[in-house]
Amino acid sequence: MSHHHQKYYERPDGYVYSQEELDAHRIPLPFRDRCVNFYVPFFKCQQIKTDNLFKTALAAIDQTLDHWGGECYKEKRDYLNCAKAAYQYSLAVPVQNIYTANPWYASQEGVSAELEKNHFSSPVLY
């Protein structure tokens, strides 16, 4: 899968990580997907947390608190929201392609023959 042609979800602050930054942060290739701009802050937060001297004790506490908070809660939530939006999009595309290929069918079904124009705007709600 070619990553340089794919469109990324936008962060609310508009920041986009360069390939050099992704390499410097050692972001694994499987995570260099549409949500990479949300994954990097989560990945960096996790690294800081694991470098902590009390990581084993904190890991148990953090898992318990993760529902309410935890050290990387916001970063994790943002990344998972993005991943969910990307997954839903991937499910919608094959169905949408049917309507795009046959606008008459789309009009009979009362649906749009095009995907939402702003789909790649940020999936993170603040």
Backbone φ and ψ of 122, nearest 5°: -55, 130
Residue 2 contacts residue 114 (beta carbons within 8 Å): no
Residues in the chain, how many?
126
Looking at residues 3-14, what average pLDDT do you find? 70
- First-to-final CA distance of the chain: 32
pTM above 0.85, yes or no: no
Per-residue pLDDT reduced to its tens digit, 50-91: 655 555 555 555 555 554 456 788 898 999 989 988 888 887
Q: What is the DSSP letter of 121?
A: S
Looking at residues 98-117, what average pLDDT do you find? 69
Looking at residues 35-39, what average pLDDT do you find? 93
Distance CA 104, CA 107 (A): 5
**Residue 126 confidence (pLDDT) above 50:** no
Nearest to 86 by CA among 14, 31, 40, 44: 31
